[in-house]
Amino acid sequence: MLRPFELCEPASVAEASELLLRHGEAARIYAGGTELILAMKEGLIHYDYLVNVKTVPGLAGVRLDADGSLRIGAATPHRVLERDPSVSERFPAIARMEADVANVRVREVGTLGGNLCFAEPHADPGALLQVFDATVRLERKGGARTIPLERLFVGPFETCLEGDELLTEIVVPPLAPRSAAVYLKFGFLERPSVGVGVAVTLADGHVADARIAVGSVGPVPRRMRDAEARLQDRPVADSEAALAEAGRIAARASDAITDLHGSAEYKEHLVGVLLRRAFQAALAAVAGSERR
Amino acid sequence: MRVEREIGIRAPRETVWDFLWDVPRLAACIPGAKEVRTVEDGKRYAAVVGERVGPFRVEFPLEIEVLEVEPPARLRARAGGRDRSVDGLVKVDLDVALTVVEDGTALRILAEIAVLGKLGTLGHSVIVRKGIEIIDRFAGAVRSHLEAKGS
């Protein structure tokens, strides 16, 4: 049963930060509640105050910068990202990933910022956004900082946010020309067991840039830079062998454990399979966009 | 969920064995353990083990029963308990073996961890990971404790 709590509705980020500071560990940001309220209902966690950021003006919405970067307000629901034309046109991989987050009820109320800050290890956005080198803006009353998204995640359900800090914006830089990103996942429970994001940039028949991120497998979603190095600067034509090696490296680095989602070996195997498929799909997407 | 860990300790096997039965000193090596007490010497013990995972805090009052003892080589024990606030049940089967190696003793811990109830369905991987981390930290603490004393 859900124990009573007070819902605070700040009018600004500064006010929300102040509330967090005042109530300390008794308060938590509410940004859709699709995970938080569930955990509270189950009695796993309790807060006396929920600070609703969904009504803070300016925290929700999507816009494209002059340089092509996508700026996503932290309180933007998944459903908006799934359907926003600028996202599906310029960042189709993000639109597709968002369209497949949980179910439509979750996507309608759950927000991107809420998903990232709850830091449940089995989630999609944290992995894919890392292959775009996304950054996050963290604000508190009287200050702000911008950090790479990968530094936000500290451990399961743990971020580097300070007590009075809020995630306010996610900035996704565009990929270089002749690039494509793909996110693939697999799972048989409600949440993904394995998620792999890949971004590829081609130049003169070579892989000019390869970025790989693995989510859900380890305690936090992570870039797999050693695996990326195997693919970097390779002729596309002989990327197949390197891909198998990159898959093995990423699998080992993914920090898999045996749990209800499957054995560690099974998950490591899936990392390799999804990496290969995602990479090939990304190559095909670059080729497809050039034919158009 | 089965976890196996083996570490080398630069100390004689008998010293390591005695340490395993020195309740206060052993308890100091278990992360998050408090209220450790002897219920029946050599057979039954009790402890409360609490851990934090992000915003979640779980606390298990554990009853530990020693099932089999082969001094100074092996002991088997079973620990189990129910979380106080959440509907969660943890069971751990422990098999600890000590073998003489060239520069001391090899401590092998085999643990079979089961997480049941609401906690199990919601945070199985997180609890299992925490369990592995506790075993690793415990083994490391035992080693530094014994090696610091020996040097």
Is A1 a domain residue?
no
What is the length of chain A?
292
The pLDDT-based confidence of A42 (bands split at 50, 70, 90) is confident
The CATH number of the domain holding residue A217 is 3.30.390.50
Same domain, A232 and A276: yes
Q: Domain range holding A188?
A: 179-291
Whether B150 has a pLDDT exceeding 60, the answer reads: no
Same domain, A100 and A37: no
Same domain, A148 and A208: no
Over residues A173-185, the pLDDT tens digits come to 999 999 999 999 9
Residues of B with CB under 8 A from a CB of A: 1-2, 53-56, 85-87, 118-126, 128-129, 132
Over residues A69-122, the pLDDT tens digits come to 999 999 999 999 999 999 999 999 999 999 999 999 999 999 999 999 999 999
Contacts of A155 in chain B (CB under 8 A): 53-54
Interface test with B, best of A44, A49, A193 (most B CBs within 10 A): A44
Give, to the nearest 10 degrees, the angle between helix A239-253 and helix A264-291: 140
Same domain, A159 and A193: no
Whether A157 and B54 lie within 8 Å, measured CB to CB: yes
One of 3.40.50.300, 3.30.420.40, 3.30.530.20, 1.20.140.10 is the CATH number of B2-150, namely 3.30.530.20
What is the value of pTM for the model shown? 0.90
Is A57 a domain residue?
no
Same domain, A201 and A114: no
Please choose, from the candidates B144, B141, B66, B78, the residue with its C-alpha nearest in 3D space to the C-alpha of residue B111: B78
Whether A258 and B129 lie within 8 Å, measured CB to CB: no
The pLDDT-based confidence of A172 (bands split at 50, 70, 90) is very high
CA dist B46 to A289, B27, B33, B116, B143, Å?
65, 11, 10, 20, 23
Is A194 a domain residue?
yes
Quickly count: other Cβ atoms within 10 Å of residue A141's Cβ: 17
Whether B1 and A259 lie within 8 Å, measured CB to CB: yes
CA dist B50 to A4, A228, B77, B116, B138, Å?
25, 39, 20, 17, 14
Is A246 a domain residue?
yes
Q: What is the pLDDT of residue B94?
A: 94
Task: List chain B domain ranges.
Answer: 2-150
Please choose, from the candidates A226, A238, A231, A176, the residue with its C-alpha nearest in 3D space to the C-alpha of residue A207: A231
Same domain, A250 and A157: no
The CATH number of the domain holding residue A47 is 3.30.43.10
Same domain, A184 and A282: yes
Q: What is the pLDDT of residue B122?
A: 66
Contacts of B112 in chain A (CB under 8 A): none
Whether B86 and A28 lie within 8 Å, measured CB to CB: no
Q: What is the pLDDT of residue A290?
A: 81
How many domains does the structure of chain A reveal?
3
Interface test with B, best of A1, A20, A259 (most B CBs within 10 A): A259
B78 and B93 Cβ atoms separated by less than 8 Å: yes
* CA A123/CA A107 separation, integer angstroms: 13
Over residues A207-249, the pLDDT tens digits come to 999 999 999 999 999 999 999 999 999 999 988 889 999 999 9
A244 and A155 Cβ atoms separated by less than 8 Å: no
Whether A259 has a pLDDT exceeding 80, the answer reads: yes
The CATH number of the domain holding residue A141 is 3.30.465.10
Whether B59 has a pLDDT exceeding 90, the answer reads: no
Instruction: Among A123, A146, A172, give the residue marking a domain's end.
Output: A172
